[in-house]
Structure 1
Amino acid sequence: MVAKNNIFTPGENCWVSSEARYVTPLIDCANYYKALHNAISKAQHSIFIVGWDIDSRIRLLRGKDEENAEAPSVVSDLLAWKAEQNPDIKIYLLRWDSSLAFFAQREMWAKEVWEEKTPDNVETQLDDTIPMGGSQHQKIIVVDDELVFSGGMDISTNRWDTRDHPVQSEERQGPDGEYPPLHDVQMVSSGPVVKDFATLVRWRWERVADSEPIALREEADTGLTAAKPRTWPDDFPPEFENVSCALARTIPFMDEVEPAQEVRTMLLDLINQAESFIYIENQFTTRQEIAEALNKRLKACPNLHVILVSSYEPKGKFECEAFWASRIEFKAILEKGIDPKRIRLTYSSIEDMQGRKAYKRIHSKVMTVDDKYLVIGSSNLSNRSMTLDTEIDVVLHGNSEHNRQQILHVRNDLLAEHTGRKLEDMPALFDTDYPVDALMQGQIAHGYVLTEVRDEVFTNHSVKNVFRSLSDPEEPLISLPTLDGAALPARNPRRRSIMIMLGIAVIAILGGLMFWASQSISWLSSESINDFLEKSRGTYFALPTVLLVYVVGGILFFPVTVLSLAVAAIFGPIWGPIYGIMGALLSSAILFGIGKLSGNAGLRKIGGPKVEAVDEKLKKSGIVGVAAIRMLPIAPFSLVNLVAGISSIGIVQFLIGTFLGMFPPMIAKGLVGDSITQIFRNPSATSIGYLVAGIVLWGLMIWGSQKFARYYQERKQKTATDEKECAA
């Protein structure tokens, strides 16, 4: 039976009240990823992953753990390995669809990437049902319906870190290079609460996938007397046992789903239960209602003390003016009329003995209330988390002496990390009259320390602004009227829709620019280019002029065939092809470099797995592949150069392939171009014969290149097959 001496009221401040047989908090991502890897490796029946992000590239293990693991470390390889090892297992991945808002960090073509990397028993869906402005923010993984991970952590970039949070770490590498220390908290649970989570993830999956109901695994032992489930992660023994708990959600109004603000109500109710100490660590603290509730409780209970730990500096203008500006107001409301020794809003940072500084980024969502309650969830103390995002928080109740001591242990453990102290030194600080003040005093030099936030150094904008309206809204950004006069929130636009609109916009812009150039730039025509080249013939500036024309023409996507024919017509069948190939190589190298820079900036991500597949073929075929592409008129010259830069092929291979593919046809074009000129100047049977011969030679080279490329690929594939057979 669930204990009755708690505040859990299903339908008001929680979705369900339940119990967990075992619970262990997993502090910081190195611990979570290690535990998750172990649990997935043991799975036999099903895995549900619901997340803000599920990035296929993430390595779950590092160092010795990675070296000694039998199963792959990269999460996509791990799930593919598990799915191939056990064809009967079903794996479901549900990720938030709207990725453009976080373009630099997230995989653009997530669904296609996962489908490319995993077998058919791994299914992927993108959730696009969230109202515009909101996000899918629940972070849940259910394994075999007997184990659940929940909390603030995603399988995403810029998350992994160890508990010591070194100032610099080679393993903390993200899309933009090394990222600073990051702190987060997850939990792993077994027992009756797993059934509730299993029901929740199925509901989320079925409404997006429009699939048949997925039955719960009846043989899963989720009782209060059950042993540790088989999938329980090694090296992480249970810390809480038979603990009462509640699940509180935020569900926005979407597709006629009944909205829920259980998280908001639960947090307010928990604050009103506090008597001695509230500890909070949270990524964002902007919800004024929470600040008002804390201030009111502090005034009502003179012996109550509160400390909050958050991040130091904002990331970007939107975060600064939406969340940091709002935190100025939050802090003012929180502290109004309260002795500063009783309340502090802080961040954790370090300056080591070499003078290097680091500010710990807080991504966790944790709250303790005395020794009565512990919250580990996905909800920030923000407007959006209370109303607009999908959230799930687990609230543990100290229903036994053991579990109450564990709540205090978690609180002390976290504060010891943030203040650079030893865990055994923490209880004495809470025995003082002003534990908040004691925590702030006497912190050890060159270790992590807590410092009071002063957000005025980042912004003075403490009033409502457009950044706050977009980044931390309480309501959907757009609502559409219905026939009955109500308002239906507009969904976040689908990724495919956004990409199509962006593609149309880019094409329209490029088309408009080309039209403008053709109408406005008088020299951008075949006649003008011919005149320009003609003036340089017989001078020392002939070659530089040709090179300049090819470079400018390449950047402006001017047809290379037109340039080659013009150069051959002016400089003849010998020097024309020589000048032309030199110009083509220089133009190719410059556009290749532009493509390389653009690819690193994100164009490769936009292309998705299809571009990756083409890239792989280009890389394997190497010089011959480039030569074949150059001989076949299948894509514009400039576009091939840019795409090659985005690809993985080396510039030396590319230029050699370009030379081999373009120089023979240029000789043919030289004959054609020179013959056309001679026909106009002095028509004769000889000049007409050269023209016909040149056109035939050109066609034969294209036909021959097709044959050679096909032969080369077949021979290379046969060699690879033979090598595999020999190895087997």
Structure 2
Amino acid sequence: MDRARRLAFLVDSADYFNELAEALRQAEHEIWVVGWDFNPDIPLRPGHEDECRLGELFQQALDAKPDLVIRILVWAMGPVYSGKSLKVFQENGILGHERVCLKFAMRQPVWSSHHQKIVVIDDSIAFIGGIDLTARRWDDSNHLPTNPLRVSPNGKPYEAVHDMQVMIDGSAARSISDIVRHRWAQANEEIPRHRPVQTTRWPAHRMPDLENCRVALALTQPDAKSPIRRGQSNRLALNAIHAAESHIYIEAQYLTSFSIADAMAKRLAEENPPEIVVVTTRLCHGLMEKLVLGVNRQRLIRRLKRVDRQNRLRVMYAVVPDEAGELHDVYIHSKLLIVDDRFIRVGSSNLNNRSEGLDTEADLAIEAHSPQERAAIAGLRHRLLAEHLASTPKEICETFEECGTLGQTIDRHNVNARGLRDFKVDVQKGKTEPVMGTALVDPSRPFHPVAHLRRRMQHIGTRLISLIF
């Protein structure tokens, strides 16, 4: 456990990028960027007078602060997989600067990815969540179907996208820096010995959502020697679902974790189960994602609905209308779990098998110990529902306090074109087990081919010897 002096929930990347731009301008000694992907050509504040690209902001900071060093760690396959950031391999422009060090995370188990999304500045302020500094991430909370500002660096528009990040300072920011430094040492076999003295980096204009609160950092480290450290984030989520009393609110890019499904199914089968509301995406990027993760999502929802005899489960996706009234999906990229008003986990961990024990993840969690902390967690949930339902946090809060359930609150406000729609699945017909190919596309643990081959050869050898003798 660590203590955050201040903490703010940044909903959608426009909010995050605004605060990040301000923090980068204040950097004195170190900027750490850790991500699945990275693109220095993204604009941080589209449409503003001080609009500039991330690389340009880095250059301005380096010119102004002669002691500043920028270190960037990116998964080696991220730019290849996304197809948006291949130029990072060229190390031209800002990436060729003598005080910018770019490294690629390659020392993971086979099929594993480096998936953490973190920025730390001078060990004094940190950002952690689900948003990479790359293309196709920026959007504001309006999520307009067509927004001339929402384009990739190559000018190509992309769909509305919803996400979350957390801004934090105090000793917790230094602990997040420890995570980054550990990952850097794994990838680079060296770590800077000097560490800057913590100073105040919190933006004066930003009111924190929480002050002087205890937070926990949960990791997924597939190559960790201790089993306890390999899947902290998943165990934390399972324990939170088990402890839920009244309601569980989830936002998830993927909904294909069958261990999470087991935990939710067990709760739904109880005599007095908690409410479970899941807001996820209906969109699939790529053929394999559609054939495996998309099908598994349908099967998982079917499985949960079959045990939901008291109608306590809602699995929904967000839509926004265009000028002609046609509805468009919002791509949900956030990774969020809120249990009652007592617990929140937000970070990089998806609700898929990979995030349980294969990919490298980092999440921040808060367990409320005061009325103020419970109010902040409830306030975030109301803020998110208000965004999805074209309402206000105040209206959502008042309705929830009146009726006491998430389902009724959603139904009362879900009367606009912009809103949440139920996933439609045939509950009676269809399979509920993982689709063939899941172990390859969405495995839950590292695969060690050499060790596997050695065990197979030993088994074959033992069988041959037993047949001969």
Do the two structures share a fold, i.e. TM-score over 0.5?
yes
RMSD: 2.6
1:414-429 → structure 2 map (5 Å cutoff): 414-429=384-399
Residues 1:63 and 2:47 are matched in the alignment: yes
Give the counterpart letter for 1:126 in structure 2.
F
- Return the alpha-carbon distance in structure 1 between the equivalents of residues 391 and 372 of structure 2: 24
Unaligned runs of 5+ in 1: 1-16, 222-228, 488-728
Partner of 1:201: 180
Residue 320 of structure 1 aligns with which residue? 290
**TM norm structure 2:** 0.90
Q: Which residue in 2 is equivalent to 1:122? A: 100
1:82 has 2:61 as partner: yes
The alignment status of 1:134 with 2:145, answered yes or no, reads: no
Whichever residue aligns with residue 170 of structure 1, its letter is P
> 1:463 offset after TM fit, Å?
5.2
SS in 1 for 2:399: helix
**What's 1:439 paired with?**
410
Deviation of 1:115 after TM superposition, in Å, equals 6.3
**Per-residue CA shift, 1:503-562, capped at 9, x if unaligned?**
xxxxxxxxxxxxxxxxxxxxxxxxxxxxxxxxxxxxxxxxxxxxxxxxxxxxxxxxxxxx
Counterpart secondary structure, 2:73: strand
> Equivalent of 1:364, from 309, 316, 334?
334
Q: Assess, with a 3 A threshold, how the Cα gap between structure 1 residues 201 and 441 changes in structure 2: closer, same or farther.
A: same
Residue-by-residue CA offset, 1:79-130 (whole Å, 9 max, x unaligned): 122112212111110011014652532x224143356645211111011112
Q: Does 1:287 align with 2:257?
A: yes
Which one of 20, 26, 36 corresponds to residue 42 of structure 1? Answer: 26
Structure 2 residue 17 is the aligned partner of structure 1 residue 33: yes
Separation (CA, whole Å) in 2 of partners of 1:56 and 1:134: 24
Instruction: Return the match for 2:122 from 144, 154, 167.
Output: 144
Aligned to 1:516: none
Q: What amino acid is the match of 1:439?
A: I
Partners of 2:266 and 2:431 lie apart in 1 by 25
How far is the alpha carbon of 1:436 from its aligned partner? 1.1
Aligned-partner Cα distance in 1 for 2:433–2:388:
31
Mapped contact 1:202–1:214 kept (Cα < 8 A): no
- The alignment partner of 1:173 has SS state of coil
Counterparts of 1:312 and 1:389 in 2: how far apart (Å)? 23
User: Residue 287 of structure 2 aligns to a residue in which SS?
Assistant: helix
List per-residue Cα deviations over 1:316-351 (Å, max 9, x = no partner): 211112211111222123223324642111001123
| 1:324 to 1:462, Cα distance in 2 relative to 1, 3 A | farther
CA distance in 1, matches of 2:191, 2:403: 58
Q: Distance in 2 between matches of 1:100 and 1:480?
A: 27
CA contact (8 A) 1:282 1:310 kept: yes
- CA distance in 2 between counterparts of 1:42 and 1:196 reads 20
* Alignment-derived partner of residue 192 in structure 1: 171
Larger RCO, structures 1/2 (Cα 8 Å, 6+ apart): 2
- Aligned pairs for 1:281-360 within 5 A: 281-300=251-270, 302=272, 304-339=274-309, 341-360=311-330
Q: Which residue in the other structure is 2:462 paired with? A: none
* In 2: Cα distance, 1:114 partner to 1:468 partner: 39
Do 2:124 and 2:198's aligned partners in 1 also have CA atoms closer than 8 Å?
yes
**Structure 1 CA distance for aligned equivalents of residues 353 and 55 of structure 2:** 34
Distance of 1:212 and 1:484 partners within structure 2: 35
1:229-267 deviation digits (Å, cap 9, x = unpaired) = 2x223543211011111111101127x687511011101
Give the aligned partner of residue 467 of structure 2. Answer: none
Distance in 1, Cα, partners of 2:110 & 2:44: 32
**What is the one-letter code of the residue matched to 1:379?**
S
Q: 1:124 to 1:455 in 2, by over 3 A?
A: farther
Q: 2:72 pairs with 93, 105, 125, which one?
A: 93
CA distance in 1, matches of 2:185, 2:409: 51
Q: Which amino acid aligns with 2:104?
A: L
1:21 and 2:15 correspond: no
Structure 2 distance, partners of 1:193, 1:202, is 14
Q: Is the 8 A contact 1:167 1:356 kept in 2?
A: no
Find the partner of 1:481 among 451, 456, 460: 451
1:210 aligns with 2:189: yes
Structure 1 residue 434 displacement after superposition = 4.4
CA contact (8 A) 2:302 2:425 kept: no
From the superposition, tell whether residues 413 and 31 of structure 1 become closer, same or farther in structure 2 (CA, over 3 Å): same
For the residues of structure 2 that align with 1:467 and 1:181, how far apart are their CA atoms?
Answer: 30
Within the alignment, does 1:51 sit opposite 2:30 as a pair?
A: no
Q: Does 1:395 align with 2:365?
A: yes
Percent identical across equivalent pairs? 28
AA matched with 2:256: T
How far residue 381 of structure 1 moved from its aligned partner, in angstroms, is 0.6
- SS for the counterpart of 1:93 is strand
Amino acid at match of 2:10: L
Q: CA deviation at 1:375?
A: 1.2
What residue identity is the alignment partner of 1:31?
Answer: D
Aligned pairs for 1:166-565 within 5 A: 166-174=144-152, 177-217=156-196, 219-220=197-198, 229=200, 231-253=201-223, 260-300=230-270, 302=272, 304-339=274-309, 341-430=311-400, 431-432=402-403, 434-446=405-417, 448-454=418-424, 464-465=434-435, 467-477=437-447, 479-481=449-451
- Secondary structure of 1:243's counterpart equals strand
Q: Which runs of 5+ in 2 are unaligned?
A: 458-469
- Which protein has the larger Cα radius of gyration, Structure 1 or Structure 2? 1
CA contact (8 A) 2:296 2:435 kept: no
8 Å CA contact retained: 2:247, 2:275: yes
Give distance in 1, aligned partners of 2:226 and 2:99. 29
Aligned in 2, Cα 1:483/1:422: closer, same or farther, shift over 3 Å? closer
Give how far 1:424 is off: 1.4
Query: Distance in 1 between the 2:232 and 2:452 partners?
Result: 27
What is the identity, as a one-letter code, of the residue corresponding to 1:278?
Answer: I
Relative to structure 1, the CA distance from residue 142 to residue 441 in structure 2 (aligned partners, 3 Å threshold; closer, same or farther) is: same
Greater CA drift, 277-286 or 297-306: 297-306
Deviations 1:560-610 (A, max 9, x none): xxxxxxxxxxxxxxxxxxxxxxxxxxxxxxxxxxxxxxxxxxxxxxxxxxx
Question: Helix, strand or coil: the match of 1:110?
Answer: helix
Q: Residues of 2 paired with 1:285 and 1:322: CA distance?
A: 12
How far apart are 1:477 and its partner, in Å? 4.8
What count of residue pairs does the alignment treat as equivalent? 453
Shift of 1:482: 9.3
Distance between the aligned counterparts of 1:190 and 1:80, measured in 2?
A: 25
Post-superposition offset of 1:28: 0.4
Q: For residues 176 and 379 of structure 1, do their structure 2 counterparts lie closer, same or farther at Cα, with a shift above 3 Å needed?
A: farther
| Structure 1, 460-469 or 200-209: larger mean CA deviation | 460-469
**Cα shift readout 1:276-301 (whole Å, capped 9, x = no counterpart):** 11100010011111112122223446
Rounded to whole Å, the distance in 2 between the matches of 1:302 and 1:462 is 24
2:61 partner amino acid: K
Structure 2 distance, partners of 1:353, 1:304, is: 38
Partner of 2:137: 159
Alpha-carbon distance in structure 1 between the residues aligned to 2:239 and 2:127: 25
SS of the residue 2:86 aligns to: coil
Higher strand fraction (1 or 2): 2
- Residues 1:353 and 1:90: Cα distance change in structure 2 (over 3 Å): closer
Q: Bigger shift: 329-338 or 264-273? A: 329-338
